[in-house]
Amino acid sequence: MPRRYDPERRQRLIDAAITVVGERGIGALSHRAVAAAADVPLGSTTYHFATLDDLLVAALEQVSAEWVADMERWERDTAAGMPLAEAMTALVERLLEGDRKRLELEYELYVTALRRAPVRPIVAAYLDDTAALLVRRTGDLSAARGVVALFDGLLLQLLLTGRPFDRAAVRAAFERVTG
């Protein structure tokens, strides 16, 4: 039987991996689960991704690129004169009111770097890219890194605890970091 030409298969596998993690968590990620979600033979996953970490890296690279692109749009669309504390507070609020499942997926993949060394460089690049965007607002890389740390910390805490978003408290936290 001739091999079917399917140039989009690799991308479908990456999308399926993201779907599997989004629906069932990182623990459910397997070649078999991804093959089923992509509706392809199991051998396709190992052909394109020799290890599960290879697949995870590809998925996180895609999610991270989308996240950074969203942050670039946010930075570009945020009024230059808006205080950074207000802009960051509005961003946190928008993210929490938006696609919460997507936000949870992004942070689940992000936190996976704690246990899976191959994905750490992707997370490090996300942190660097986000800090570089914020340098435009802070003028200082150290301050930008502090804002990124607070931003991620606040979002993770709010996602994990289910506490309601407190605009005044979040803005006060950003004001302390941004001066």
Q: Specify whether 7 is located in the same domain as 91.
A: no
| Residue 2, domain extent | 1-50
The neighbour count for residue 109, using CB atoms within 10 Å, is: 28
Q: Specify whether 35 is located in the same domain as 87.
A: no
CATH of the domain at 136: 1.10.357.10
Decide if 17 contacts 29 (C-beta within 8 A).
yes
| Pairwise CA distance, residues 127 & 124, whole Å | 5
| Pairwise CA distance, residues 26 & 43, whole Å | 21
CATH of the domain at 6: 1.10.10.60
Q: Specify whether 171 is located in the same domain as 84.
A: yes
| Pairwise CA distance, residues 44 & 40, whole Å | 7
pLDDT in tens, the chain (179 residues): 445 667 799 999 999 999 999 999 999 999 999 999 999 999 999 999 999 999 999 999 999 999 999 999 999 999 988 999 999 999 999 999 998 888 998 898 888 988 999 999 999 999 999 999 999 999 999 999 999 999 999 999 999 999 999 999 999 999 999 98
| Pairwise CA distance, residues 12 & 127, whole Å | 27
Decide if 46 contacts 40 (C-beta within 8 A).
no
Q: Specify whether 76 is located in the same domain as 159.
A: yes
pTM for the full model?
Answer: 0.86
